Amino acid sequence: DQQVKQNSPSLSVQEGRISILNCDYTNSMFDYFLWYKKYPAEGPTFLISISSIKDKNEDGRFTVFLNKSAKHLSLHIVPSQPGDSAVYFCAAANFGNEKLTFGTGTRLTIIP
């Protein structure tokens, strides 16, 4: 039972344009969502998070949007840079539970 899904295994975006990565979840108890970036042979690096009491959180080039009614979140990267090429995982957690449930990941390639 995949509670967190990233339906696009890969995405290619021109440098300087916007990258939009999507994530859907099924568990309505999730109340905290995170995005991680992962380079090969490295651990995931935390990028940005959002609590269910918000619908948007911004940090520099990264913005996460949460649509609770649709059980959908997205990560926007503007402008996209070559160093953004990596695998991006969304993750979710519910209150009182230390467990993170990860999506399957989206490989983002930024084309120079």
Q: What is the DSSP letter of 9?
A: S
Place of tokens 């905290």: 32
For 61, list phi and psi in degrees, rounded to 5.
Answer: -80, -10
User: Out of 8, 11, 32, 109, which residue is the one contacting another protein (CB under 8 A)?
Assistant: 32
Q: Does 62 bind another protein (CB under 8 A)?
A: no
Bridge partners of 21, per DSSP, are 75
Shortest approach of another protein to residue 12 CB, angstroms? Answer: 18
Q: Does 93 bind another protein (CB under 8 A)?
A: yes
**How many CA atoms lie within 13 Å of 67's alpha carbon, on the beta-carbon side?**
10
User: Out of 103, 106, 108, 110, which residue is the one contacting another protein (CB under 8 A)?
Assistant: 103
Which residues of this chain interact with another protein, rule CB under 8 A?
31-32, 34, 36, 41-46, 49, 51, 89, 93, 95-96, 98-100, 102-105
